[in-house]
Amino acid sequence: MRKKIFALLSALSCTVCVFAGCGTLPRDEAAPASTPSTVETDTTASAAAAESTTEEANAKETLFRRMADSTLCIFTSTGSNGTGFLYGEKYLITNAHVLYDAESFTLLDRQGIERQGTVVFTDDGEDIAVIELADYQGTSVTFGDSDALPLGEQVLLIGNPADGEPFSYCTGRRVKAEGDLFRNIDPDRYLPVDAPIVSGYSGGPAFNMQGELIGISNAAFTEDLSEYGFEHLGLLIPINRVKELIAAYCG
């Protein structure tokens, strides 16, 4: 059996997929007289699909712009990147592994202003770290219900890719954890999504399309997944798994 490769996002070295939107295809005003009616139907369907795709792209862009104010990018003294999200009045939540071996770190907000903070809590078992922010009041995320996210539902993830621009984002859908690929993955501990999350997304927020936080980017498969029907596959920490821990510490 081929060995599966499963790595923390901090160890990945992939190219980030930044959602760039999509245009509509032009629709002919009239088909030639010799064109079968079935082609007219296909053209209409293509135009409708293109319009739907554009609306969907606009919805994702709007959601990203709204939720980016709840996100900070992390740059550590070890040269690695990470991401965190704001919770409560003065806390930033990220993965504990983002800060491993780092003597210091810098936080960047959406306006490009550097912010400072102090690590006040870590839980290596849950891979959660809490940073108390100094002199910064951001927009706190709203927790959603990760158990209620249906299969196939879209999610939007914000990150700080090592080989890309701060405050990039990507999208994907929740997929089912079954088969040999998920043999060693505890379904209660991780939420699989087919989003192209890469190094630097660790600790970043994953939102449903209503803008509720449903997970935290944590890890990704780095092997060729084509035989399983995936181009990309990442794992989120379901927010239901850690929301009580976060709320208890941050109040």
Over residues 130-188, the pLDDT tens digits come to 999 987 778 999 999 999 999 999 999 999 999 889 999 999 999 998 888 898 888 88
pLDDT for the residue numbered 97:
97
Residue whose pair of structure tokens reads 């621009």 in the numeric block? 165
Output DSSP code: residue 42. Answer: H
pLDDT for the residue numbered 168:
95
Spatial distance between the Cα atoms of 55 and 175, rounded to a whole number of angstroms: 23
Spatial distance between the Cα atoms of 71 and 236, rounded to a whole number of angstroms: 16
The residues carrying an active-site annotation are: 97, 127, 202
Phi, psi of 70 (to 5 degrees): -100, 10
Beta strands in 195-239 (DSSP E): 205-208, 213-221, 234-238
Q: In this prediction, what percent of the chain has a pLDDT beyond 70?
A: 79
Please give the residue that has the higher pLDDT: either 48 or 224.
224
Spatial distance between the Cα atoms of 205 and 73, rounded to a whole number of angstroms: 11
Judge whether residue 3 has pLDDT over 60: no
Spatial distance between the Cα atoms of 218 and 124, rounded to a whole number of angstroms: 13
pLDDT digits (tens, 9 = 90+) for 100-139: 999 999 999 999 999 999 999 999 999 999 999 987 778 9
Enter the CATH code of domain 142-249: 2.40.10.10
Tokens found for residue 65: 């712009």
Cβ 236 vs Cβ 251: under 8 Å = no
pLDDT for the residue numbered 74:
98
pLDDT for the residue numbered 18:
32
Please, which pLDDT band fits residue 40 given cuts at 50, 70 and 90? Answer: very low
CA distances to 70, 100, 205, 246 from 240, rounded to whole Å, are 19, 24, 13, 10
Residue whose pair of structure tokens reads 């139907």 in the numeric block? 41
pLDDT for the residue numbered 27:
24
Other CB atoms closer than 10 Å to residue 240's CB: what's the count? 18
Domain ranges across the chain: 142-249
User: Facing residues of 94 across strands?
Assistant: 129
Judge whether residue 7 has pLDDT over 50: no
Residue type, 144: G
User: Facing residues of 114 across strands?
Assistant: 108
